[in-house]
Copies of this chain bind each other. A is one copy, B any other.
Amino acid sequence: MRVKVTLAAANCMFVGAALAQTSVGQGPVSGSSVTLFGIADVAVAYGTGSAAHKTQLVSGANSPSRLGFRGTEDLGGGLGANFWLEAGYNADDGTGVAGNRNNTPAGATSGDVISFNRRATVSLIDLWGELRLGRDFTAPYRNREQVDPFGTNGVGASQANVGTLAGPTATRASNMIGYFLPPGLGGFFGEVQYFMGENISNSATPDDGDGYAARIGYGIGAFGVAIASGSTKFARTSSTGNINVLNIGAFYDFGILKLSGGYYRDKVESIVPVTGTGYLVGGTVPVGVDQVRVSYSTYGTDEAGGPRSRKFAIGYVYTFSKRTVAYVTYAHLANSGGASAALNGSLTAPDRSSNGCDFGLRHSF
Name the residue of chain B whose CB is nearest to the CB of A191. Answer: B21
B-contacting 9-mer, from A2-10, A273-281, A297-305, A330-338 = A2-10
A-to-B contact residues, CB < 8 Å: 1-8, 10-11, 13-18, 20-23, 25-29, 32-42, 44, 51-57, 63, 67, 69-75, 79-85, 87, 89-96, 99-102, 109-110, 112-125, 130-131, 133-137, 141-142, 145-146, 151, 174-177, 180, 182-183, 189, 191, 196, 198-202, 320-324, 326, 345-347, 361-365
Judging by beta carbons under 8 Å apart, are A57 and B134 in contact? yes
CA distance A364 to B83 in the complex (A): 9
CA distance A14 to B127 in the complex (A): 10
Judging by beta carbons under 8 Å apart, are B89 and A125 in contact? no
Number of copies of chain A assembled together: 3
Residue contacts A-B, CB under 8 angstroms, 18 given? A1-B33, A2-B7, A11-B74, A14-B80, A17-B180, A20-B183, A23-B146, A29-B322, A42-B133, A52-B201, A57-B177, A73-B324, A89-B116, A91-B121, A94-B115, A94-B174, A113-B114, A200-B346
Q: Which residues of B contact A85 (CB under 8 A)?
A: 38, 40, 67, 89, 94
Query: Of B17, B29, B176, B320, which contacts A81 at CB under 8 A?
Result: B320
Contacts A2-B7, A79-B320 given; does A54 touch B84 at CB 8 Å:
no
Judging by beta carbons under 8 Å apart, are B11 and A73 in contact? yes
Contacts A29-B323, A175-B93, A346-B200 given; does A15 touch B82 at CB 8 Å:
yes
Name the residue of chain B whose CB is nearest to the CB of A112. Answer: B109
Judging by beta carbons under 8 Å apart, are A102 and B93 in contact? yes
Judging by beta carbons under 8 Å apart, are A54 and B93 in contact? no
CA distance A7 to B35 in the complex (A): 9
Judging by beta carbons under 8 Å apart, are B202 and A52 in contact? yes
Query: Of B6, B14, B81, B122, which contacts A4 at CB under 8 A?
Result: B6
Q: Which residues of B contact A67 (CB under 8 A)?
A: 69, 85
Judging by beta carbons under 8 Å apart, are A25 and B151 in contact? yes
- State the Cβ distance, A122 to closest chain B Cβ, in Å: 4
Q: Which residues of B contact A5 (CB under 8 A)?
A: 1-4
Name the residue of chain B whose CB is nearest to the CB of A8. Answer: B2
CA distance A365 to B84 in the complex (A): 11
Judging by beta carbons under 8 Å apart, are B198 and A56 in contact? yes
- State the Cβ distance, A135 to closest chain B Cβ, in Å: 5
CA distance A85 to B120 in the complex (A): 20
Q: Which residues of B contact A63 (CB under 8 A)?
A: 25-26
Judging by beta carbons under 8 Å apart, are A93 and B174 in contact? yes
Further contacts, 18 of them, CB under 8 A, given A32-B323, A52-B202: A1-B5, A3-B36, A4-B4, A11-B74, A14-B74, A15-B82, A17-B125, A26-B362, A42-B122, A52-B200, A56-B196, A71-B365, A92-B175, A93-B135, A93-B175, A94-B115, A94-B116, A94-B119
